[in-house]
Structure 1
Amino acid sequence: MEILQSAAALQAQTEIWRQNKLRVGLVPTMGALHEGHLQLVRAAARENDVVVVSVFVNPTQFNNAEDFRLYPRVPDADAALLGPAGCTALFMPSVEQMYPQPTVLRFDFGPLEQVMEGEHRPGHFHGVATVVSKLFHLSRPHRAYFGQKDLQQVTIIRQLVADLSFDLEIVAYPTIREEDGLAMSSRNRRLSAEARAVAPRLYQALMLGAGLAQEQAQTPEAVQQAVAEFLAAEPAITLEYFTLADAQTLQPLAGFWPRGRTVALCLAAHLGGVRLIDNVLVTLPG
């Protein structure tokens, strides 16, 4: 596995691969890798000739300076995991390499980013779209791999690819969970033992909502209230949002269940000073 630190080096390597007609897979990450990331790397290795994994904590997608400062950074451990998983080139740029000058362009994804993460983290998806666009240009992948845990991010990146005519395929893989249901996340490293013990309540809340949604005996608003009450029973958890939304448009359900559609149940919550997100998908009866 080769480690590249400059944008020019990645571009040069990509050009060689392309000239040799090799298919390139890209797995963008912010590091502090876990099994969810490694699933994407292994999939990329199976489905492409070469795999680029980027490890870059992108400052432009953080609207909270403290969250950016505390985000886990373990580059040596990340590098040790990636070779055996099938990574060909690890791209670990500095902020100066990714942003040699301030960006002026602004991304606006309309209704897709006016809900959930976009509503609660202003500017977040502008930062995501900026860094992902740069990575797409530098690595010129045939496929790029993302996890469903960041459902809204995947939806917005698909829109980005469609709107800007990037010549690549977006591949999304299901969320990988711990045995107790907690979605794997780099931020889990920051949980205290006490917070980690109650963190599975988030997945339990989503499964409660999923069961109620499939029954359709209550309105979406009533299901939302039931989930909020379930989480309120655990004082350590502060719910930021819980939303039932159309899985394609991300727009919240209101008043009725869209029969035959897939519904996304999405939440964000604070636990011991750590913000966690999760989601599950439910396909309603037709």
Structure 2
Amino acid sequence: MQAIKRISQLKEEIRRLRKEKGDGTVGFVPTMGYLHEGHLSLLAAAKKETDIVVMSIFVNPLQFGPNEDFEKYPRDHERDLKMAEAAGADIVFLPETSEMYPRPIKTTVSVAEVTERLCGASRPGHFDGVATVVTKLFNIVQPDKAFFGMKDAQQVAVIRRMVDDLNMNVTIVPCPTLREEDGLAMSSRNVYLSPEERKQALVLSQSLRLAEALIRERSASPDEVRRRVEEHIRTAQLADIDYVELLSYPELAPVQPGQMPPSVIIALAVKFGKTRLIDNLIIEMGNSHV
């Protein structure tokens, strides 16, 4: 495995490997590092479906707001490189901020509508930063397939829409959320949680299961589902709700009373102390009334 910091060197090495493997396909896993089993599952999917596996580790300043955790975001490149190599990555790209943004950036990518709810509403500018850095990375790596975890289902929806709208030559491969044995969605931010916060955070996956039961039983309106989920989350004393939403997926449009779209997402963002966690569940409904 190679660890590469320069864009020019990365491009040259990908060209060499493609030629060596007879026009081999490239699978790309963009991350912000501090890897966990969820990231490694993306590498495994890329290794299964493509010939050359590239992972990027870059904490992108464009997607952090002024009061967010950019400086404190967990970083451990030595640990990450060992995990990526063991998982079968061919290249890990670890650029410095100055390599990705050598001068103040004047060109950004913005996706409308699907960015306006959920994290887009509570983190203004976040998805412009995501779309811009992913576009840059796609242009640098030129992957055939890119692999993203569904824990951030809104991010997947935004990137898929961007790729479709701009006719980018890459296939987006969504991969399932990986969870700890007790149900907590794997996240690099989980290391911030105190033992008691970690225990109370289990209310998130419990709330998703409650929402799914209510939706499948046709026993509650969309507003009632949200209310019941919020009530359950508040049983955890340390939970501070940012949002609970029930929307169509991938459009992320509000669900109208009396009608469930073919695919719906129940999405949560909740703070435990200073740590903001997200989780979601996508439920395939078919065409059905409630």
TM-score under structure 2 length normalisation: 0.95
Superposed displacement of residue 67, structure 1: 1.0
Segments of 5+ residues of structure 2 without an aligned counterpart are: none
Is 1:274 the counterpart of 2:280 in the alignment?
no
Aligned to 2:181: 179
- Which one of the candidate residues 54, 69, 72 is aligned to 1:70? 72
Segments of 5+ residues of structure 1 without an aligned counterpart are: none
For this pair of structures, how many residues does the alignment match? Answer: 285
- The list of structure 1 runs, each at least 4 consecutive aligned residues, that deviate by more than 6 angstroms after superposition, is none
- Which one of the candidate residues 231, 234, 242 is aligned to 1:232? 234
Structure 2: how far apart are the matches of 1:248 and 1:198? 29
Aligned to 1:207: 209
Task: Give yes or no for contact 1:32–1:73 (8 Å, CA) kept in 2.
Answer: yes
Is 1:256 the counterpart of 2:255 in the alignment?
no
Is 1:9 the counterpart of 2:29 in the alignment?
no
Task: Give yes or no for contact 2:18–2:52 (8 Å, CA) kept in 1.
Answer: no
Range that drifts further, 159-168 or 127-136: 159-168
Superposed displacement of residue 108, structure 1: 2.6
- What is the correspondence of 1:107-186 to structure 2 with a 5 Å cutoff? 107-186=109-188
Structure 1: how far apart are the matches of 2:60 and 2:138? 15
Superposed displacement of residue 129, structure 1: 0.7
Structure 2: how far apart are the matches of 1:107 and 1:80? 33
Q: CA-to-partner distance for each residue in 1:14-70, whole Å, 9 max, x for gaps?
A: 222344401111000000100000000011111111111000000000114441111
Structure 1: how far apart are the matches of 2:135 and 2:126? 14
Structure (1 or 2) with the greater helix fraction? 1
Structure 1: how far apart are the matches of 2:173 and 2:101? 26
Structure 1: how far apart are the matches of 2:286 and 2:40? 34
Structure 2: how far apart are the matches of 1:274 and 1:164? 35
TM-score under structure 1 length normalisation: 0.97
What amino acid is aligned across from residue 63 of structure 2 in structure 1? Q
Q: Secondary structure at the match of 1:280?
A: strand
Give percent identity, aligned residues only: 41
What amino acid is aligned across from residue 277 of structure 2 in structure 1? L
Q: Secondary structure at the match of 1:213?
A: helix
Task: Give yes or no for contact 1:219–1:257 (8 Å, CA) kept in 2.
Answer: no
Aligned to 1:241: 243
Task: Give yes or no for contact 2:263–2:286 (8 Å, CA) kept in 1.
Answer: no
Q: CA-to-partner distance for each residue in 1:184-239, whole Å, 9 max, x for gaps?
A: 00000111111111111111011111110111221100110111111112210001
CA RMSD of aligned residues (A): 1.2
